[in-house]
Structure 1
Amino acid sequence: MKPTDYAILSKRQLSENVYMMRIHAPYIAAERKPGQFILLSVDESYGERIPLTIADADVAEGSITIIFQKVGFTTTQLAAMEVGDHLAAVLGPLGQPTHVSKVGTVVCVGGGIGVAPMHPIAKAFKAAGNRLICILGARNKDLVILEDEIRAFADEVIVCTDDGSAGRKALVTAPLKEFCEQAPRPDLSIAIGPPIMMKFCAETVRPYGVPLIVSLNTIMVDGTGMCGGCRVTVGGETKFVCVDGPEFDGLKVDFDGMMKRLQAYRPQEQRMAAGGGDHQCRMMAQAEKLEKK
């Protein structure tokens, strides 16, 4: 391993608790495609790995860009790191890349931190010659991310906030429904964000026959499909997000089952957060996760 591998090259805070980092990972940068992700470890002494979408890549520099929200123990550790620090490990690119083609009009919906994985996918569909509409949702104006970057290539951008402090005071499903009611209807829709948002996007487009792709972010451990932690039900069949996904037909995903599984390890996560730097506490929580699977 070269001494610069997995070094943090830049760090930028995008909004409250949301950070962007460029990481030196030349082999991943060279192979990465839109829609793929990495598994990242911060601490060599504690092996928790978290999945993060590759938001961008610079092959010449040998870097990948990640965007993450500080919500748990590991992301809090990651947010505390600075330029020049090194990550313990970065595994990727993982998952199936987005199938990008020229289909006509594509509507991309990003909710909160979901705008980050949406960005490279939307950019790829625009580069393929599609008319691109992007809907960005957040609780308030301070939490809207990547708006300028997306406006640079999208044909139309609509911002929705819960409190109306930026753009429209509306849920992202409101403009999505309006586009579905127009003639001609969108040829494809893509939704990435909280599971409940993606579920309601699916119910919004379903009556109009507009296809929907969703990118799922589930519990993951090994990233190879062996542990089964990331399993979801799609069209009545069991799929593994890390190898079969992360993208699926949003009209076939069992979102209720997925959301129930995401809550399965909440007690352990709370214990990890309360334990802080207590390595034994964190290892116990990780062991309990694996035992339940």
Structure 2
Amino acid sequence: MLKPCDRGGFFKPFNVMDNNGPDQSRTKIYRYNSLGYRGEEYDPAAAFRIFTFGCSNTFVTGLNWEEGFPYRFKERVAEHFGYQVSELNLMNFSAGGHSNDYSVRTMLRQCEDESPDLILFDPSPINRIEYVNEGGYGEFFCPGRTSQTQKSLEYYDFYTETMGFVNFVKNLLFVQWYCQARSLSYLFHIRWCDIDRFRSNRTCLDYIEQLDFSRICSSRDIAKVDDAADRIYNENGDLIWSHDGPVTNKLIADRLYHFACEQGLLPRQAAKVVAHS
């Protein structure tokens, strides 16, 4: 049984909004399902079920849901198996701004009683981390873009890029080993982190060498060719930030699809597809 979203705020069942955090353009629609997550309802009888976990990339900030790479990937998978898109189920357990710690914890919650046909895990930037204290869970976002509390300032004074990277790989290894133990198919999409840059660090290399790169698809070389609606400008009116636009998202979805095929994650006649149909 799937669990309700624990993020609070606008992550409410059946919520419908035309703005979201950094996206104040009011040109996109954000629809939330009965669990409080953006996207469609869960269909346990679907021919093929994809669970996505991540931050704003997979939440698809600044775009309509159908413009993002998770839905575009679903379209390619449906075409691959010869199904209508509506016959597949894409559950989106993502929320903007959070850490890989949160994504892993959410995966454990949502996969406790369910076994999707494919887990698509999209890691967050490495400088985000979740912590736990007597009040529950909290997160440090990233320097310069987090609330300037004393705790966050102290954390980022102490933080190093090596610390963030090791925590990043630990989370990937947790997903990797969990899915292997559960016999779950999984695919990582790397957009934010250049893993190879850390190979010269002996400590980092010890972790890197444990990763299964047959499950890691990078889109870092795909140039951003358009912008999403969540555009942030500086005082001179220059665009300084936005998420990837719909064309870029389609390119990413195509990359993921071809990679999944090459690695045997989408055989032409998968046993699980036959079982669900």
Question: Structure 1 length as normaliser, TM-score?
Answer: 0.31
Question: Structure 2 length as normaliser, TM-score?
Answer: 0.33
Q: Which has the larger strand fraction?
A: 1
